[in-house]
Amino acid sequence: MTTEYLVLSGILFVIGALGVLIRRNAIVVFMCVELMLNACNLAFVTFARQWGNLDGQIIAFFVMVVAAAEVVVGLAIIVTIFRTRRSASVDDANLLKY
């Protein structure tokens, strides 16, 4: 069982990572980041089940809290950027360069 869960977690993580790298739309990138986080969560929970202790589950909760906070701040930023620049593409927001 464990192996299958971990394979699924890995697949999800790779999908998320590729999405972050390939997609330009900030919302999609954002969702992919969430996907990566959830892939990790899956791995944590799997291991918690495997070893029969709660450490992994607790970490998963932490990750969720962080993800929720991230969503709050991140979406706010994205919305603001969209309002000012009329674009949600991450490539357009490149003012912080050399």
Residues making contact with another protein (CB under 8 A): 17, 20-22, 24, 29, 90-91, 93-98
**CA-wise closest residue to 78 among 45, 29, 36, 22:** 29
User: What contacts 25, CB < 8 A, 6 or more positions away?
Assistant: 88, 89, 90
Which of 84/94 has CB closer to another protein? 94
Whole-number minimum distance, CB 81 to another protein, in Å?
Answer: 11
- Distance (Å, whole) CA 86 – CA 96: 18
Which of 52/91 has CB closer to another protein? 91
Which of 57/59 has CB closer to another protein? 59
